Amino acid sequence: MIGSVIEKYEVLEKIGEGGMATVYRGRHTTLNRTVAIKVMHPHLTSSEKNRERFRREARAIESLAHDNILRIYDYSGPDSEKCFIVTEFIQGPTLRELLDDVGAMMPEPAALVARELCCALQTAHIEGIVHRDIKPENIMFDAEGRVKLMDFGIARIADDSHVTMTGALVGSPAYMSPEQATGEDVDLRSDIFALGTVLYRMVTGTLPFRGGNPSVVLKNIIDTTYDDPVERVPSLDPAVASVISKCLTRTADERYADTDEIRAELDGFLRSVAIDPEEPGQWSLDLYLNASDEYEDRLQPWLIERLVTRGRTEAGGGQTANALRTFNRVLTLDEDNEEVVTIIESMRPPLVDEPRRSGILLWIAPVLIAVAAIVALTLQSDRFAPEPTAAAEAPALRRVSMVPMPVLGIPEPLEVVVAPAPEPTPEEHAPAVVRPAPEPLEMEAVAIVEAAPEPTPEALQEPVLEGIGGLKVTAADGFLTFRVDGGKSLFTPTPEHLQLDAGDHTIEVLGSGTQVGYSKTVRVLPDARETLVLQPRYKPSTVKLTGFPLGSVYYVDGIFIGSADGTVRITLDEFKTYSISVEFNGQTIVEEGVTRGLTGTGVLDPGGERLIPFPGD
């Protein structure tokens, strides 16, 4: 084939081969454009039925104009001796080549890859086209780091052929859905299953369904038997593990309805760690492809700071289980994080007559193990009981408080304090333990060793750092006003590194109408140039309801929060969607919206207030 001409395309070199086709780098002889030519194997094209189906599929795929789908330029005509597709030529690696190099990806870059695959598949599924062969070998990256999904069209040919000339199953068994493995009807949800398999492979470095031969692999797929990804990678974010679990359910009806739902969940996960999925900036995929190790080294401290903030928000909103999962990820990234250990200790229910701090890790370990067990049970497939209904297990309310204000006609202000129900103490759940009587101790003579003398204050004093260091201060989003050691006000980002004496310095972030001020201590080392990224902390938003009659009942996100009349204020965290409903005199009104935080937009600004008057006013 090398050096030959297929119609108007010169074949220059072979660049790949799979079970369905051989791929060549070619050149359009009149346009002088570099292209990729995919020539199907003769045993697949010998059937006229396959050739006709191929032409029909190629025409359909040709209309799929999307940045994440490999563009088709041309395909073989009805009289062509060979069956081929001509596509744009991509110089970048395949996902398979990337994974062979890095092993496993951190959840954040993996989510950026998966969301672009979701966009490509959604475009195809809307047109009624199912890929049927999603795997890392069919996913490429272009020079800008953009994901390109390939091999639409011929996957269906191979699927209909079932076997090759040697009797081997066509396709990649490890990425098949249960319905593909059992010969049932296949639809877009089969692609969703394969997408979950690819995401599992990206974040764990291994496949969910494995075996010594294809038969064992297919059996594990049919039974949906696989290891919990969190057990393989403890630092995996629970949100990503949840997406994988729902993609890999045995029954297609239990999976996502479409890939837009998956993309929305992945986007929410990325925003929770302050990464904009549309404009990731310093976390873009092209930077990951160029230097994955450096990328992940920069990402880890970024994540720790933002996960601590996220965990605090979850804990403050009564979402204890979510907070513990988030803090567990922090501890897998930084096992000596004292701030998280202190927070977890403060979340522990107090025990009667017990010292405040007596072996914090003895309590943390079983709690995190219990949380991991809960995650493992809920994230696995239909081998376990179905998820509880909303009625059976309502989520804890997100930091919602109601403070009715005095109005005319109400002599005394009514105060309603809404808080999540207290968690049960360990004594309420722990079964009674009967311990045997202790064995009598055998006394032995021991040598008395004189204790080492206490260190002097001078020995404990940290060495004084001398010299000058540089500190560049930026903000995770927008700009912030700050002061260093009480000096003049500065703005982020600083145009250059601030020259500071080596040692500890206090960075004071100044508050504003939408942001809460705070301070933190940073250490500047001599002759070092460091960058400090400040995270904005937004004020909560408020919904104010006025004039509702006595006995009105209030709900936030379907959760009952109280009954009151007069003026009621409901406080909502940033980054939240909300639905507030009020029932009165047999009527119901519903107010829906979102609060605006670091990256989102909505009807409620941080620190802002929305007024909802009684409809009769």
Catalytic residue numbers, as ranges: 133
In this structure, the number of other CB atoms found within 10 A of the CB of residue 93 comes to 15
- Please tell me the distance from the alpha carbon of residue 274 to that of residue 268, in angstroms, as a whole number: 10
Structure tokens at 548: 């509702």
Nearest to 345 by CA among 325, 334, 359: 359
Of the candidates 518, 519, 516, 535, the residue with the CA atom closest to the CA atom of residue 475: 535
Whether residue 103 contacts residue 52, with contact meaning beta carbons closer than 8 Å, is answered with no
Gap between the Cα atoms of 145 and 290, Å rounded: 9
Instruction: Output phi, psi for 490, to 5 deg.
Output: -125, 165
- Residue count of the chain, please give it: 617
Nearest to 127 by CA among 184, 192, 65: 65
- The rounded distance, in Å, linking the Cα atoms of 270 and 281 is 13
**C-alpha to C-alpha distance for 265 and 242, rounded to whole angstroms:** 9
Q: Which long-range contacts (CB under 8 A, 24 or more apart) does 452-455 make?
A: none
In the three-class reduction of DSSP (H, G, I as helix; E, B as strand; rest coil), residue 503 is classed as strand
Asked whether 524 and 502 are in contact (CB, 8 A), the reply is yes
Neighbours of 60 (CB within 10 A): 15
Residues 6+ apart with CB under 8 A from 548: 565, 566, 568, 582, 584, 614
Phi, psi of 403 (to 5 degrees): -125, 90
Strands 577-584 and 72-75, by their bridges, are unpaired
Taking residue 283's Cβ as centre, other Cβ atoms within 10 Å add up to: 21
Tokens of 96: 């398979």
